[in-house]
């Protein structure tokens, strides 16, 4: 059955790969990001393959913007019953250098954003008596130097996921988390720049610590998200799946 899906932070990287994957599986996809114009390439890729997609600009941490975005999606594509909360930002720093803004921005986008989007979409899922919410966590939820804000947010995402799974399960809605490890994206490139090493060297160092011997690609994460969004995974809920090439990488 074809459904309407929303993927946040879908202009590039993991979000774009996930939007393309869900579209290939027959879903109409709302490609949501802060800057609507940045969504154009993902939308174009989906349409070029015969899929249905629209770009939507919204700040997921802004309640009014989220409500307006979801209303627009309902009017254009139909009520959304699949939600992938992928939008995120980095403001890495050691604790003594981290500012209040660094902390608030990361917690706001990752946690408040997931909360606002889930709250806005769940009413459509409850009405349909079916839904899939997939939240993006990270291996950083287990702790990572220089990422007190990001680690706290991603650990919070897992607690949020498990609670929604309990609350929404009776309505045929599953809620799961995917926790990527070292994935080659623009955010990874930004981390390399922050610590002052070349990107190729950074990737090589990361791959050397991964049991499968390579870094992850956005498509690896999209495959895991796709599993949780499937119609036949209705007995899997409240889980956090680490996509990291090993037990922890």
Q: Does residue 140 share a domain with residue 67?
A: yes
Structural domain total, the chain: 2
Helical packing angle, 13-24 and 218-229, nearest 10°: 50
Distance CA 203, CA 201 (A): 5
DSSP state of 3: -
Supply the pLDDT for residue 128: 98
Q: Does residue 167 share a domain with residue 88?
A: yes
Q: Does residue 135 share a domain with residue 118?
A: yes
Q: Does residue 65 share a domain with residue 16?
A: yes
Q: Does residue 153 share a domain with residue 56?
A: yes
Place of tokens 């590039």: 12
Task: Identify whether 71 is part of a domain.
Answer: yes
Pairing of strands 4-8, 80-85: parallel
Task: Identify whether 249 is part of a domain.
Answer: no
Structural domain boundaries enclosing 201: 183-215
Task: Identify whether 128 is part of a domain.
Answer: yes
Task: Identify whether 173 is part of a domain.
Answer: yes
Going by C-beta distance under 8 Å and a sequence separation of 6 or more, which residues neighbour residue 167?
A: none
Are 159 and 206 spatial neighbours (Cβ–Cβ below 8 Å)? no
Q: Does residue 223 share a domain with residue 134?
A: yes
Q: Does residue 187 share a domain with residue 160?
A: no
Task: Identify whether 248 is part of a domain.
Answer: no
Tokens of 189: 């490139």
Task: Identify whether 247 is part of a domain.
Answer: no
Q: Does residue 12 share a domain with residue 118?
A: yes
Task: Identify whether 143 is part of a domain.
Answer: yes
Supply the pLDDT for residue 186: 87
Supply the pLDDT for residue 249: 54
Supply the pLDDT for residue 62: 98
Q: Is 227 one of the annotated active-site residues of the chain? A: no
| CATH number for 111 | 3.40.50.720
Q: pLDDT per residue over 135-156, tens digit each?
A: 999 999 999 999 999 999 999 9
Q: Does residue 58 share a domain with residue 88?
A: yes
Q: pLDDT per residue over 24-57, tens digit each?
A: 999 999 999 999 999 999 999 999 999 999 999 9
Q: Does residue 222 share a domain with residue 116?
A: yes
Distance CA 139, CA 249 (A): 7
Q: Annotated catalytic residue: which of 150, 171, 227, 242? A: 150
Supply the pLDDT for residue 192: 86
Supply the pLDDT for residue 187: 84
Angle at 20 between CA 14 and CA 22, to 5 degrees: 100
Q: Does residue 197 share a domain with residue 114?
A: no
Task: Identify whether 107 is part of a domain.
Answer: yes
Distance CA 111, CA 22 (A): 23
Q: Helix, strand or coil for residue 235?
A: coil
Give pLDDT < 70 ranges for the chain: 248-249
Q: Does residue 162 share a domain with residue 226?
A: yes
């Amino acid at each position: 059955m074809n459904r309407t899906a929303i993927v946040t932070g879908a202009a590039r990287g993991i979000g774009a790969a996930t939007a393309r994957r869900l579209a290939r599986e027959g879903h109409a996809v709302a490609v949501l990001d802060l800057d609507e114009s940045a969504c154009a390439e993902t939308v174009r890729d989906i349409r070029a393959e015969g899929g249905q997609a629209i770009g939507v600009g919204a700040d997921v941490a802004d309640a009014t913007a989220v409500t307006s975005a979801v209303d627009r999606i309902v009017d254009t594509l139909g009520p959304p019953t699949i939600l992938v909360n992928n939008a995120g930002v980095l403001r890495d720093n050691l604790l003594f250098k981290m500012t209040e803004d660094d902390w608030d921005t990361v917690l706001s986008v990752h946690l408040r954003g997931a909360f606002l989007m889930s709250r806005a979409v769940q009413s459509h899922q409850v009405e349909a008596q079916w839904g899939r919410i997939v939240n993006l966590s990270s291996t950083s939820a287990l702790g990572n130097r220089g990422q007190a804000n990001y680690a706290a947010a991603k650990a919070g995402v897992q607690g949020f996921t498990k609670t929604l799974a309990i609350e929404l399960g009776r309505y045929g809605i599953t809620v799961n988390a995917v926790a990527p490890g070292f994935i080659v994206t623009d955010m990874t490139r930004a981390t390399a720049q922050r610590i002052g090493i070349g990107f190729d060297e950074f990737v090589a160092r990361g791959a050397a610590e991964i049991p499968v011997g390579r870094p992850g690609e956005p498509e690896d994460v999209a495959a895991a998200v796709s599993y949780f969004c499937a119609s036949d995974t209705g007995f899997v809920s409240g889980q956090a799946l680490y996509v990291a090439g090993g037990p922890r990488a």
